[in-house]
């Protein structure tokens, strides 16, 4: 037992970096797959934006499988010693989770409820990270999530105080500082039934019955107004996307299946978008951007698997509609001409060929696009090179990931895995990869779902960063996914610029370590470091202007390192 005590002693003697007292810490609860942070109407965890008060200060914000959530540790450039991020188990001996206990050269594995420690003869690796502020890439613009019909419905069930904690947790500076929501124009798969404007009368070219928004929109608008107040947001960017036209405009006269827009309604469908924009503006909730339609391939090739509202487009057809109808209708509008238009809004594997096909059909069609929208779902099977190619061909266009969630695949749990660190790690790897491949931001899918991962009218159950207890309606659970996203969104305000940050001699594709770096508008640097190993890692971060920062990071953890 001697060596174990020795190692605890080491942990205690390690430089005790100061931890913040002002923060409202996570109320950590063990769950089926790990642990979540619990909020109720009177308590929720928040972290004030860390201020770097003097130029020698280093602030590290950390989350770990073992239970850290936005833990703040501070250090100093002047110190010769490495900054040690202490994991939960080293400070809380009652926390029963598997953990690895380490001294300088050896590691022990501690399994939950087993008193013996297994000896691993592993040494802690040192990873050298190069941060070069002189090499600059894209700007950050948006982080956010989707305000679907399901989200609106679930929030409505909660007491106002608990709703407010959802808004504050996501959009306030003390939360994870989102600035954008995505919402459907009409219904989406996360609604309680499929719906569109002007379902009646049919064959109505001028949309005579689309004179006001739906009651579901009005509820969302009330909630978004509250959100802006609670989150102290001056500007909330809203991105709209339509899932399907009313059935009468479609070749199959249905919400789903193999069906496209009838050509005689091309202009009607453009007008439909314009009317939505005008009605939202009239409610003082202007739309920042729209896309050319959610997942256009669902109604062309995806209909075997997709049983929710969708409308098919081939790239050739969509280029004609964009170029002849939607583009001119928006750009010539007296009030909506500045609304941005994003193309594709579908999976990565359609890049870049979708746009090449559009161009071959209407050579000016791409000029109507301000941005490119990508969904995450098949990224683990399709590499980012396709995005690189699209960016190379259209470097001036914004690039956003506009949808992501876990639990849609046949081999995944269809619904939340409460507390799953692994799912958080999937997000961490994905956000890191996209930000290293030209993306300006990321909009996640449902802000909240219930314990089953719904509800919605097609029983399509998936996970979300925040799960509502829809049974008691008294608690919400912040998943590891929430913190994975937050390590980006909270610390990267719009106008932050990605800078070079890489692991020196990164050659091993199986390395479970990644970094991505940014310079923020105030000049400070934010480097996001992910350790996916079951062992701690030492990081020697060498900044081109400041020199070396030494860090000891716990197993299965991620960190945002901030300094000037
Ligand atoms: C809310 O959570 C806090 C922190 O766990 C707890 O002290 C408080 O009793 C809870 N309030 C209610 C109404 O359950
Ligand atoms: C453990 O590592 C040391 C070197 O650090 C080596 O000498 C020793 O043989 C190793 N023991 C085992 C059991 O692998
Ligand atoms: C207009 O739409 C409403 C539903 O939004 C419907 O009740 C009404 O019958 C429609 N009017 C006509 C003339 O079809
Ligand atoms: C674009 O297409 C039109 C006809 O569709 C043609 O007149 C024009 O020359 C083309 N422009 C370019 C740059 O290829
Ligand atoms: C939701 O709350 C009820 C009542 O307090 C509780 O029994 C249930 O375990 C909670 N659900 C989850 C997922 O924690
Ligand atoms: C990295 O690679 C360079 C050249 O391949 C080599 O000179 C250097 O020693 C390597 N550094 C480390 C830390 O392995
Ligand atoms: C840090 O990087 C600089 C180049 O930016 C290099 O000159 C210096 O030797 C590096 N320091 C260490 C300790 O690796």
pLDDT interval class at 381 (50, 70, 90): confident
Res 174 pLDDT > 80? yes
* Mean pLDDT to the nearest integer, 260-277: 98
How many A from CA of 319 to the centre of ligand 4? 14
Q: Write the residue with the smallest CA distance to atom 3 of ligand 3.
A: 200
How many A from CA of 412 to the centre of ligand 5? 23
Element (H, E) at 89: helix 88-91
* Mean pLDDT to the nearest integer, 363-390: 95
Element (H, E) at 543: strand 537-543
What CATH number is given to the structural domain containing 338?
A: 3.20.20.80
The SS3 assignment for 455 reads coil
Report pLDDT for 204. Answer: 98
How many A from CA of 506 to the centre of ligand 6? 10
Res 453 pLDDT > 80? yes
* Mean pLDDT to the nearest integer, 476-480: 98
Ligand nearest to the CA of 124: 2
pLDDT interval class at 105 (50, 70, 90): low
Q: Is residue 132 part of a domain?
A: no
Cα torsion angle, 339, 333, 365, 242, sign = positive
Closest atom of ligand 1 to 40 CA is 1
Report pLDDT for 318. Answer: 98
Q: How confident is the model over 217-231, as pLDDT tens digits?
A: 999 999 999 999 999
Res 53 pLDDT > 70? yes
pLDDT interval class at 99 (50, 70, 90): low
Closest atom of ligand 5 to 31 CA is 14
pTM for the whole structure: 0.92
Q: Is residue 89 part of a domain?
A: no
Q: Is the CB of 469 under 6 A from ligand 5?
A: yes
Q: Is residue 386 part of a domain?
A: yes
Ligand nearest to the CA of 503: 6
Q: Which residues are near ligand 6 (CB < 6 Å)?
A: 128, 504-505
Testing ligand 3's pocket by substitution, the residue of 186, 194, 195, 200 carrying the most ligand atoms inside 8 A of its CB is 200
Is residue 103 within 8 A of residue 10, CB to CB? The reply is: yes
Q: Is the CB of 316 under 6 A from ligand 1?
A: no
Percent of the chain with pLDDT over 70: 89
Report pLDDT for 302. Answer: 77
Res 4 pLDDT > 70? no
Percent of the chain with pLDDT over 90: 82
Q: Which residues are near ligand 7 (CB < 6 Å)?
A: 542, 544, 548
Q: Is residue 36 part of a domain?
A: no
- Domain count for the chain, please give it: 1
Report pLDDT for 1. Answer: 27
The widest CA-to-CA distance across the chain, in whole angstroms, is 83
Q: Write the residue with the smallest CA distance to atom 4 of ligand 5.
A: 472
> Distance between alpha carbon 558 and the CA centroid of its chain, in Å?
15
pLDDT interval class at 309 (50, 70, 90): very high
Q: Which residues are near ligand 3 (CB < 6 Å)?
A: 200-201, 209
Exposure letters 5-31 (e unless 16+ CB within 10 A, then b): eebeeebeebeebeebeebeebbbeeb
Report pLDDT for 13. Answer: 28
Res 138 pLDDT > 50? yes
Q: Which pair of tokens denotes residue 185?
A: 């124009």
Testing ligand 1's pocket by substitution, the residue of 43, 158, 469, 477 carrying the most ligand atoms inside 8 A of its CB is 43
What mean pLDDT value characterizes the chain? 91
Nearest Cα neighbor of 312 from 242, 363, 210 is 242
Ligand nearest to the CA of 415: 5
- β-strands 107-110, 237-242: how paired? unpaired
pLDDT interval class at 538 (50, 70, 90): very high
Cα torsion angle, 97, 103, 109, 111, sign = negative
Please, which residues bridge with residue 529 across strands? 515, 559
Gap between the Cα atoms of 313 and 223, Å rounded: 33
* Mean pLDDT to the nearest integer, 475-494: 98
Q: Is residue 367 part of a domain?
A: yes
Q: Is the CB of 91 under 6 A from ligand 5?
A: no
Closest atom of ligand 3 to 214 CA is 5
- Cα dist from 106 to 4, 96, 99, 329, whole Å: 11, 21, 14, 66
pLDDT interval class at 100 (50, 70, 90): low
What domain range is 263 assigned to? Answer: 139-495
Look at the block and give the residue holding tokens 């199959």.
252
Q: Which pair of tokens denotes residue 272?
A: 């439909």
Tell me which of 238 and 534 has the higher pLDDT: 238
Q: Edge-to-edge strands of the sheet including 71-76?
A: 71-76, 57-64, 557-563, 525-531, 513-519, 497-503, 126-139, 537-543, 547-553, 83-84
């Amino acid at each position: 037992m001697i060596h174990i005590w020795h190692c605890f002693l080491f942990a205690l003697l390690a430089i005790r970096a100061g931890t913040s007292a002002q923060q409202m810490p996570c109320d950590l609860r063990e769950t089926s797959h790990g642990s979540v942070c619990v909020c109720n109407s009177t308590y929720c965890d928040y972290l004030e934006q860390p201020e770097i008060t003097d130029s020698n200060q280093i602030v590290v914000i950390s989350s770990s499988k073992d239970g850290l959530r936005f833990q703040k540790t501070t250090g100093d450039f002047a110190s010769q010693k490495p900054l040690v991020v202490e994991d939960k188990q080293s400070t809380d001996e009652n926390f029963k989770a598997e953990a690895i206990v380490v001294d300088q050269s050896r590691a022990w594995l501690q399994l939950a409820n087993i008193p013996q420690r297994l000896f691993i003869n592993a040494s802690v690796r040192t990873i050298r990270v190069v941060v070069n502020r002189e090499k600059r890439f894209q700007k950050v613009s948006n982080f956010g999530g989707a305000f679907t019909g399901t989200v609106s419905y679930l929030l409505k069930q909660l007491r106002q105080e608990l709703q407010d904690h959802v808004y504050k947790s996501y959009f306030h500076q003390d939360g994870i500082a989102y600035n954008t929501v995505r919402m459907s124009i009409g219904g989406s798969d996360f609604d309680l039934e499929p719906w569109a404007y002007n379902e009646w009368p049919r064959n109505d070219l001028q949309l005579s019955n689309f004179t006001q928004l739906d009651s579901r929109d009005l509820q969302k608008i009330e909630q978004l107004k509250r959100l802006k107040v609670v989150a102290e947001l001056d500007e909330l960017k809203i991105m709209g996307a339509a899932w399907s036209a009313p059935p009468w405009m479609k070749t199959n006269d249905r919400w789903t299946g193999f069906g496209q827009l009838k050509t005689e309604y091309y202009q009607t469908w453009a007008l439909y978008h314009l009317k939505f924009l005008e009605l939202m503006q009239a409610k003082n909730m202007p739309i920042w951007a729209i896309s050319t339609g959610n997942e256009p391939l669902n109604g062309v090739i995806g209909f075997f698997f997709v049983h929710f509202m969708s409308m098919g487009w081939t790239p050739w057809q969509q280029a004609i509609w964009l170029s002849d109808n939607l583009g001119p209708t928006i750009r010539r509008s007296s009030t909506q001409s500045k609304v941005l238009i994003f193309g594709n809004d579908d999976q990565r594997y359609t890049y870049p060929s979708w746009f090449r096909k559009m161009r071959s059909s209407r050579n000016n069609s791409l000029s109507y696009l301000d941005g490119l929208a990508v969904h995450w779902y098949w990224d683990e099977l399709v590499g980012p090179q396709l995005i690189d190619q699209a960016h190379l061909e259209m470097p001036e266009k914004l690039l956003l990931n506009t949808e992501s969630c876990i639990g849609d695949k046949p081999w995944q749990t269809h619904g939340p895995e409460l507390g799953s660190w692994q799912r958080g790690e999937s997000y961490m790897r994905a956000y890191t990869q996209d930000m290293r491949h030209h993306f300006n931001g990321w909009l996640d899918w449902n802000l909240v779902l219930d314990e089953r991962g719904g509800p919605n009218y097609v029983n399509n159950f998936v996970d979300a960063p925040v799960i509502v207890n829809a049974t008691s309606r008294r608690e919400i659970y912040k998943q590891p996914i929430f913190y994975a996203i937050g390590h980006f969104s909270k610390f990267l305000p719009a106008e932050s610029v990605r800078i070079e940050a890489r692991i020196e001699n990164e050659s091993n594709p199986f390395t479970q370590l990644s970094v991505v770096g940014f310079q923020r508008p105030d000049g400070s640097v934010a480097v996001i470091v992910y350790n996916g190993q079951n062992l701690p890692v030492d990081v020697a971060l060498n900044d081109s202007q400041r020199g070396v920062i030494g860090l000891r990071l716990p197993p299965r953890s991620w960190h945002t390192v901030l300094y000037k």
